[in-house]
Amino acid sequence: MTRYRATTIVVRALAIVVLLLTSRLARADNVDTLVGQLEDSSDKVRLSAALNLTKLGDPKAILGLVKRLDSNNESSKNVRSAAAVGLGTLVGEKVKGSARDLAIKALRKAMADDPSEFVKVQAEKALEKIGATGGSAPVTPGGSQVYVNVGPMSSKTGGASDAKFRDMMVKVSSKTLTRVASSMQQTWAGGGTPNKQQLASKGFSGFYVDGTLNEVKVEKSGNTATISCKVSMLLASFPEKSVFGFLNGGAKVQGSTSQRDIDLGSEDCVSAVIEDLIAKKIVPTIKSKVGTP
């Protein structure tokens, strides 16, 4: 049995915080100044500019954020994440024409190609918010040699949100598999789940993925709350469910101390860990097992 050492990812979610702040109107000269700061040599200045432009909500910032979302132009993943969140906020129904098209194109490119998994996630969320979700087309039955069954997930937090966390973990797992490994089948022709004979007759290898939310911890300091979470996942054969891989991951997300912000931060924390484990550990392991690149 292959065992993995526990990995910890630290997610700096400053880009998410801006969504939780109250929007305020700004003078045009203030917006122009912030747009100019998107070109500053300091990544901290660029990040602050992206966050404040999103908070101000002026569509004039769209083109500047599009440029900052491109990893060829922007080296900081935090700035790219903030740009993705900003575009998801600024590209509303009233934004039409080339500005909207450029934003959607940039978000789809980031979702597919950005070197940071976290930026990819923020780009996907922005596309969903805009109503222009882009991604891999659904896999048609028989078009894959790998079948993945996603388990029901579990949560040990002991709170009223356990059921919500479980549902979210299942959805995030399925969406991440679709995004990073679109050739892996998650449904079976005719419905239901296949047995061993059915998989073999179609030339499929079966795998089972499940996870457990072990901890969600909130620490408050002044007006800031730091939410940490720990998730474990397993990888097994299917339908036998013979486990051959255990994975552990953790993340931290910062936000305000309001309960709404804490709830959203907790969801983002758990989502980030699951996405990271599936994209960087589970999918590569499955590919190595079946001998595909």
- Summarize pLDDT for 89-123 with one digit per residue, the tens: 998 767 877 888 888 889 988 888 888 988 888 88
Spatial separation of the C-alpha atoms in residues 184 and 189, rounded to whole Å: 14
3-state DSSP call for residue 71?
Answer: coil
Entry pTM: 0.52
**β-bridge mates for residue 282, sequence order:** none
Q: Are residues 177 and 45 in the same domain?
A: no
Q: Which residue stretches of 162-207 are H helix?
A: 162-180, 196-201
Q: Are residues 49 and 69 in the same domain?
A: yes
Q: Are residues 145 and 256 in the same domain?
A: yes
Tell the residue number behind the tokens 């990040």, with chain if given.
47
Q: Are residues 143 and 122 in the same domain?
A: no
Q: Are residues 256 and 162 in the same domain?
A: yes
Vertex 263 angle, CA 83 and 260, to 5°: 85
Asked if residue 273 lies in contact with residue 250, where contact means CB atoms within 8 angstroms, the answer is yes
Q: Are residues 152 and 46 in the same domain?
A: no
Spatial separation of the C-alpha atoms in residues 10 and 253, rounded to whole Å: 8
Spatial separation of the C-alpha atoms in residues 54 and 126, rounded to whole Å: 12
Q: Name the domain boundary from 92, 110, 130.
A: 130
Asked if residue 251 lies in contact with residue 13, where contact means CB atoms within 8 angstroms, the answer is no
Q: Are residues 164 and 252 in the same domain?
A: yes
3-state DSSP call for residue 159?
Answer: coil
Is position 194 within any domain?
yes
Is position 6 within any domain?
no
Asked if residue 255 lies in contact with residue 263, where contact means CB atoms within 8 angstroms, the answer is no
Q: Name the domain boundary from 69, 104, 130.
A: 130
Per-residue pLDDT tens for 151-178?
Answer: 999 998 877 788 999 999 999 999 999 9
Is position 27 within any domain?
yes
Asked if residue 57 lies in contact with residue 90, where contact means CB atoms within 8 angstroms, the answer is yes
Is position 39 within any domain?
yes
Total domains present in the chain: 2
Per-residue confidence of the chain (293 residues) as pLDDT tens digits?
A: 333 333 333 333 333 333 333 233 334 468 889 999 999 999 999 999 999 999 998 889 999 999 999 999 999 999 999 999 999 999 876 787 788 888 888 998 888 888 898 888 888 888 888 877 644 333 333 334 899 999 999 998 877 788 999 999 999 999 999 999 999 999 988 788 999 888 988 889 999 999 999 999 999 999 999 999 999 999 999 999 988 888 999 999 998 999 999 999 999 999 999 999 999 999 999 988 887 77
Residue ranges making up the domain that contains 262: 139-290
Tell me the CATH number at 283: 3.30.160.180
Q: How many residues does the chain have?
A: 293
Q: Are residues 145 and 120 in the same domain?
A: no
